[in-house]
Amino acid sequence: MHVSEGGVEIEVPDARDGASAGTGDDVFYNPTQELNRDITAAVLRAFREREPRAESYLDAMAASGIRGVRAAAEGYDVTCADLDADAVELAQSNLDRAGNGGEAVHRNANALMYDEVFDVVDLDPFGTPMPFADPTFANTRDLVCVTATDTAPLCGAHQKSGIRKYGCLPQNTDYHPEMGLRTLLGAMVRTAARYDKAAVPILSHATRHYARAYLELDERATKADELLESTGFVYHCEDCLHREAERSLVAHPPEACANCDSTRILEAGPIWLGPVSEPAFAGAVRDEVTEDFGTAKRARKLLDTLAVELDTPTHFDQHRLCKLWGRSASKMETFLETLRDAGYDATPAHYHGTAFKTDATVAEIREVTAALDPEA
Ligand SMILES: C[S@@+](CC[C@H](N)C(=O)[O-])C[C@H]1O[C@@H](n2cnc3c(N)ncnc32)[C@H](O)[C@@H]1O
């Protein structure tokens, strides 16, 4: 099957009739990840401005090679790696067809990353990226791009798996996409720190199906120490949804909720509590989205949201709060405007349409927005 994406043309196996348009008919290609790949192409453009020495790009789990083909079109010196020989053959033929150079290699990405240094490494595995984290942070020079699709372990829905994979205690809350993203970022920051490197999140986004993060590397151990100080714990009241965050290597959970006195407090961590994106970089990436991206409109909307989203470590869901309080929900803009008029910061959060961030506590949100549903 012929696929046109972001100005490049590739062949992928035809999922409908099982026929192979390339070589292997079981080589993976997921059309629903186009937004993720469009944003990656825009990140690669914006990162070039930020770090002009960045030249080599490893598509570490290439499958059809779509990420590598797109990176080569952006002028990067591309290597596509895959364990599957059919994938390597298909990726090489796609690189050749596009004519922007690039080599596909039949290698285990972990072994390859210990052998060779790349400026940019893109991890896009099935499920968790943790089995690839050590060589990635040991050897990558400038930027790590990472997707994790194991959202249930990440957000605490499959908690034991989350604990095993990410070395922290994730909890299943009403802000599960953000819990997942911060579980992933915490594990990335800690892994990089083992190699005396700081992995600074410069852009991140999450949906129900995956978390995606871009981490800029800094070789100063002092910077790695600084980042570790932005990891810590969230304490979440299961009754009133009040939450508090504590930046610390050790948890000091409250005995009871500061808002409602409940003792049903969930403790999550250590997770990343710092900013998940750098506003200026999100804006620069947004400016690199071009009309030949199939998801241009969605990508710009997402990046616009990321550029202004508050960096509080959890988001709220208006519908969840209104249900708890027996109120009808309001239009998001009206709800946020009400908080702002009362002197709080409040922005939409990119996780979904009813998600928002604010510096108000749950009690303050309840009080300030009460007039929006006088019947309740
Ligand atoms: C989710 S797919 C990659 C999708 C692709 N990046 C895209 O955007 O369409 C994961 C790929 O990783 C490959 N893979 C799994 N383990 C690997 C390893 N240790 N080294 C290299 N490739 C691996 C699989 O063969 C599979 O093709």
For domain 2-230+270-308, the question of CATH label 3.40.1210.10 is answered with no
List the residue whose alpha carbon is closest to atom 18 of ligand 1: 108
Q: Name the percent of the chain in helix, strand, coil, to the closest 5.
A: 40, 20, 40
Quick check: helix, strand or coil at residue 59?
A: strand
109 known ligand binder: yes
Beta-strand relationship, 120-123 and 56-59: parallel
Chain segment 277-329, per-residue pLDDT in tens: 999 999 999 999 999 999 999 999 999 999 999 999 999 999 999 999 999 99
What pLDDT, on a 0 to 100 scale, did the predictor assign at position 13?
Answer: 85
- Spell out the domain ranges in the chain: 2-230+270-308, 316-372
Q: Which of 10, 66, 67, 82 to mutate to test the pocket of ligand 1 (most atoms within 8 A of CB)?
A: 82
Pocket test for ligand 1, best of 30, 83, 88, 212 (most atoms within 8 A of CB): 83
**Which of 134, 131, 178, 176 is CA-nearest to residue 158?**
176
ipTM of the complex as predicted: 0.99
Identify the residue whose C-alpha is closest to ligand 1 atom 13.
Answer: 61
The percentage of the chain sitting over the pLDDT mark of 70, rounded to a whole number, equals 97
Residue 150, marked binder: no
* Model confidence pLDDT, tens digit, residues 158-204: 999 999 999 999 999 999 999 999 999 999 999 999 999 999 999 99
> Could you tell me the two tokens for 220?
């100063």
Report pLDDT for 25: 63
Q: How confident is the model at residue 22 (pLDDT cuts 50, 70, 90)?
A: very low
pLDDT digits (tens, 9 = 90+) for 234-256: 999 999 999 999 999 999 999 99
Residue 80 marked ligand-binding: no
Kind and range of the H or E run holding 34:
helix 34-50
pLDDT at 356 over 80: yes
Given this model, what pLDDT does residue 208 score?
83
Residue located nearest, by CA, to atom 9 of ligand 1: 29
For residues 45-59, average pLDDT: 96
Query: Atom 10 in ligand 1: which residue has the minimum CA distance?
Result: 125
| Ligand 1 within 6 A of CB of 67 | yes
Q: Please name the CATH architecture into which domain 316-372 falls.
A: 2-Layer Sandwich (3.30)
C-alpha to C-alpha distance for 205 and 271, rounded to whole angstroms: 16
How far apart CA 307 and CA 283 sit, in angstroms, is 6
Quick one: average pLDDT of 97-124? 98
Q: What is the CA(357)–ligand 1 centre distance, in A?
A: 35
d(CA 365, CA 347): 13
Identical fold between 2-230+270-308 and 316-372? no
- Asked if 27 and 88 count as a contact pair (C-beta separation under 8 A), the reply is no
Rounded distance, CA 325 to CA 103, Å? 58
Residue located nearest, by CA, to atom 17 of ligand 1:
83
Q: What is the pLDDT of residue 35?
A: 97
132 Cβ below 6 A of ligand 1? no
